[in-house]
Amino acid sequence: MSLTFASWNINSIRTRAHLVKDWLDRNEACTLLCLQEIKCEAHQFPPLFEEAGFHVAVAGQKAYNGVALISRAPLTITTDHLPGFESDEARYIEAELDDVTIGNLYLPNGNSGGEAGFAKKLNFFDALYHRARALQQEGRSFAFIGDYNVCPTDEDYAPKALSPNDALLHPESRAGFRRLLWSGLTDALRCLHPTGQHYTFWDYQAGAYQRNSGLRIDHALLSPRLADRLTSFTIDKDERGRDKPSDHVPVVVTLS
């Protein structure tokens, strides 16, 4: 059975709910949209999606972080936090849909908070690895999709878009991402497009979008059975050109 799902760091859902609703209306094949950085508590999530018949699940917090699921089909929420990641920050929500487990994640940036802030980033990677192992042992087909805040290789960011010591490029950040791949997961984009510059984020400063000075930090990692079903991975770059957009754009995965 085919399935299309997407991820979008929306950078405040209350500011951009109309952009999300418009995108869903234009992308009817997308069953599930995973949002990050919604920046609100669950009771503040805009009601227009449920009013339009969507199923909504939110793991939110006041003003920062937060993740949400907007689905055309009923969802079974398996957890509203990442097991093993000891934090009160809302950064993970997981659901089952059509016998597929989808983990929606917003991984810590790692550039703020000094050593403790960077350690939080690595702790999330470690917990995500162990969640992958647990789902593998259960025989689940699953995907981890969202804002990973890491450029896995030098090809995944434009020249001079980041300073060399940025946490998104740190060897330990990249090692955390590679560890997930070595556990048996597949980077959906690189499976279909092994090389080339494919960005999902453009900073608001210095005309980054107009200059295509971007980053690839929004990823979908697929378990083996899902990787076998992968037919397309699309970056909806045009959304970055909308009026008052998020600095990220939707990434869309389609399985046969």
Q: Which pLDDT value is given to residue 19?
A: 98
Averaged pLDDT, 70-86: 98
Q: Is the pTM of this model over 0.95?
A: yes
Q: What angle is formed at CA 174 by the lines to CA 140 and CA 141, rounded to 5 degrees?
A: 10
- Name the average pLDDT for the chain: 98
Q: What is the pLDDT of residues 106-155, one digit of tens each?
A: 999 999 999 999 999 999 999 999 999 999 999 999 999 999 999 999 99
Q: What is the pLDDT of residues 168-201, one digit of tens each?
A: 999 999 999 999 999 999 999 999 999 999 999 9
User: How far apart, in whole angstroms, are the C-alpha atoms of residue 87 and residue 39?
Assistant: 16
For residue 240, pLDDT beyond 90 = yes
Q: Which pLDDT value is given to residue 167?
A: 98
Q: Which pLDDT value is given to residue 158?
A: 98
Q: What is the pLDDT of residues 85-106, one digit of tens each?
A: 999 999 999 999 989 999 999 9
Strands 92-97 and 100-106, bridge-based pairing = antiparallel
Query: Please, are residues 107 and 147 in contact by the beta-carbon 8 Å criterion?
Result: yes
The beta strand positions in 180-222, using DSSP E, are 186-187, 201-202, 214-215, 218-222
Strands 141-147 and 100-106, bridge-based pairing = parallel
For residue 1, pLDDT beyond 90 = no
Other Cβ atoms closer than 10 A to 163: 9
Spatial strand order of the sheet with 100-106 comes to 76-79, 92-97, 100-106, 141-147, 218-222, 186-187
User: How far apart, in whole angstroms, are the C-alpha atoms of residue 43 and residue 256?
Assistant: 36
Other Cβ atoms closer than 10 A to 72: 15
Q: Which pLDDT value is given to residue 10?
A: 98
Averaged pLDDT, 203-228: 98
